């Protein structure tokens, strides 16, 4: 009984908690780069910044961002050529004592800034120059390591500033790769559900619903995704954002990364520097959708409409290497159970790659 005589009910304790981190300010649109000083003011970010950019993306937006940041705080530059544990340590040293990290570029630049931000316990602002991957707003980062790849916990951006003018001007190949990365959510989800049924891995229905809806929006609008159209850049950036949020809800990259991603990571080892991340995942998704017994032709049609490759040859990768990547995929993150972990022989792998060329 409470002091007021009200009978208190004993409620069962749910011994469960979850901490999800999501972006706070999201600015998407034409010429929004100029909003950066305002965003820093809104988020009360001041002091000093370390701006990460790439060799090519420096000219696209990195220099402009550096000038804008220097209007409101001290800023230094760190050029990311490739992402490795060594480069990350180097960047952490350069970022010691810095108040905010800003990533301006493609996926490698953004992932590096994200990891350094997490390790240095300082916020990070994401400024993608291309809609090529769904890590622009996620709380995960992928790092290639010897013999594979690791998915690390990282800081999601405190702010995402996506300038659709810059993104639409980027080579169409990058936008098409971003679409393919999102379309591959279809099979990532099937793999997660398979692991749930076979291994008892917990799933998040909300993360699955969001990731699937995102893939559906891109597939349904495949006809409307056009090169150098700011409208298309809008559509794709929003999809990448919601796919990233799905990963943050899940607390892992599971809703957006399954066997098709393991295939892509294996290709990065076997045929480095040929295909883009999203392109490889898209092709992997056609194959794993076939293995799941789903509409693999539908995935292939969407990718073709968008202008993403559907065969290894289109990425400059020979079929033998692609088949090897399929066989090796299960060795990448063996703890992540997918349909490719059920056993793919060399013979089957060759047949699966040949299937991609079928009319
Ligand atoms: N954290 C996550 O949740 C996710 C992470 N990823 C990771 O992201 C990476 C893939 O990203 P992706 O962007 O495809 O690869 P990269 O970061 O390697 O970028 C590909 C190329 O595009 C160039 N580029 C970027 N923007 C422009 C532009 N506007 N105009 C001309 N060139 C441009 C880059 O230039 P530059 O040389 O200047 O860099 C680079 O040469 C992988 O490492 C992948 O693992 C992918 C999905 C999700
Ligand atoms: O690329 C991702 C989602 O699109 C996530 O990357 P991982 O495969 O490294 O988890
Ligand atoms: Zn991906």
**Known binding residues for substrate:** 134, 181, 265
Q: Counting ligands in written order, which one lies closest to the CA of residue 262? A: 2
Q: Tokens 């060759």, residue?
A: 350
Does ligand 2 have an atom closer than 6 angstroms to the CB of 88?
no
Task: Please report, in angstroms and rounded to a whole number, the separation of the first and last CA atoms in the chain.
Answer: 74
Per-residue model confidence (pLDDT) at position 1? 54
Q: Enumerate residues 6+ apart whose C-beta is below 8 A from 125.
A: 36, 39, 40, 45, 100, 101, 102, 103, 157, 158, 159, 160, 161
Per-residue model confidence (pLDDT) at position 115? 96
Q: In angstroms, how far is CA 338 from the centroid of its own chain? A: 18
Q: Tokens 């073709």, residue?
A: 304
271: alpha, beta or left, given left = phi > 0 and alpha = psi -120 to 50? Answer: beta
Query: How far, in Å, CA of 113 to CA of 115, rounded?
Result: 6
Q: In angstroms, how far is CA 266 from the centroid of its own chain? A: 17
Residue 81 DSSP symbol: S
Query: How far, in Å, CA of 149 to CA of 199, rounded?
Result: 22
Taking the model in full, what pTM does it have? 0.96
Show pLDDT as tens, one digit a residue, over the chain (359 residues): 566 677 777 888 888 888 899 999 999 999 999 999 999 999 999 999 999 999 999 999 999 999 999 999 999 999 999 999 999 999 999 999 999 999 999 999 999 999 999 999 999 999 999 999 999 999 989 999 988 889 898 989 999 999 999 999 999 999 999 999 999 999 999 999 999 999 999 999 999 999 999 999 999 999 999 999 999 999 999 999 999 999 999 999 999 999 999 999 999 999 999 999 999 999 999 999 999 999 999 999 999 999 999 999 999 999 999 999 999 999 999 999 999 999 999 999 999 999 999 98
Per-residue model confidence (pLDDT) at position 22? 95
Query: How far, in Å, CA of 281 to CA of 182, rounded?
Result: 9
Does ligand 1 have an atom closer than 6 angstroms to the CB of 154?
no
Q: Tokens 């905010």, residue?
A: 100
Per-residue model confidence (pLDDT) at position 163? 98
Per-residue model confidence (pLDDT) at position 149? 87
**Known binding residues for glycerol:** 134, 181, 261, 277
Backbone angles phi, psi at 145, to 5 degrees: -130, 170
Does ligand 1 have an atom closer than 6 angstroms to the CB of 174?
yes
Determine the distance separating the centroid of ligand 1 and the alpha carbon of 298, expressed in angstroms.
26
- Pocket test of ligand 2: the residue of 131, 135, 144, 189 to mutate, having most ligand atoms within 8 Å of its CB, is 135
Q: Tokens 């150098």, residue?
A: 228
Yes or no: say if 182 and 218 are a contact pair by the CB < 8 Å rule: yes
């Amino acid at each position: 009984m409470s002091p007021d005589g009200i009978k208190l009910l004993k409620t069962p304790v749910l011994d469960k908690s979850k901490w999800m981190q999501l972006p706070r300010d999201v600015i998407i649109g034409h010429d929004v780069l100029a909003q950066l000083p305002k965003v820093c003011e809104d988020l009360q970010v001041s002091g000093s910044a370390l701006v990460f950019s790439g060799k090519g993306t420096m000219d696209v937006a990195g220099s402009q961002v550096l000038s804008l940041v220097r209007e409101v705080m001290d800023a230094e530059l760190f050029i990311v050529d490739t992402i490795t544990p060594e480069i990350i340590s180097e960047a952490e040293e350069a970022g010691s004592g810095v108040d905010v990290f800003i990533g301006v570029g493609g996926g490698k630049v953004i992932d590096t800034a994200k990891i350094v931000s997490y390790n240095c316990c300082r916020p990070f602002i994401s400024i993608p120059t291309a809609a090529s991957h769904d890590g622009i707003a996620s709380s995960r980062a992928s790092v290639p390591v010897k013999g594979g790849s690791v998915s690390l916990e990282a800081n999601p951006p405190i702010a995402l500033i996506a300038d659709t003018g810059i993104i639409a001007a980027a080579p169409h190949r990058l936008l098409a790769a971003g679409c393919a990365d999102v379309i591959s959510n279809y099979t990532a989800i099937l793999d997660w559900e398979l692991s749930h049924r076979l291994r008892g891995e917990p799933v998040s229905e909300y993360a699955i619903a969001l990731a699937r809806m995102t893939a559906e929006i891109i597939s349904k609008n495949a006809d409307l995704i056009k090169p150098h159209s700011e409208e298309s850049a809008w559509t794709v950036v929003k999809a990448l954002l919601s796919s990233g949020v799905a990963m943050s809800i899940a607390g892992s990259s599971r809703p957006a990364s399954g066997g098709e991603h393991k295939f892509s990571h294996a290709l990065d080892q076997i045929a480095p520097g040929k295909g883009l991340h999203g392109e490889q995942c898209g092709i992997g998704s056609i194959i794993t959708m076939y293995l799941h017994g789903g509409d693999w032709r539908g995935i292939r049609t969407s990718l073709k409409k968008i202008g993403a490759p559907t065969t290894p040859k289109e990425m400059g990768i020979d079929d033998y290497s692609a088949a090897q990547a399929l066989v090796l995929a299960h060795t990448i993150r063996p703890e992540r159970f997918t349909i490719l972990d059920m056993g793919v022989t060399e013979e089957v792998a060759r047949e699966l790659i040949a299937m991609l060329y079928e009319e």
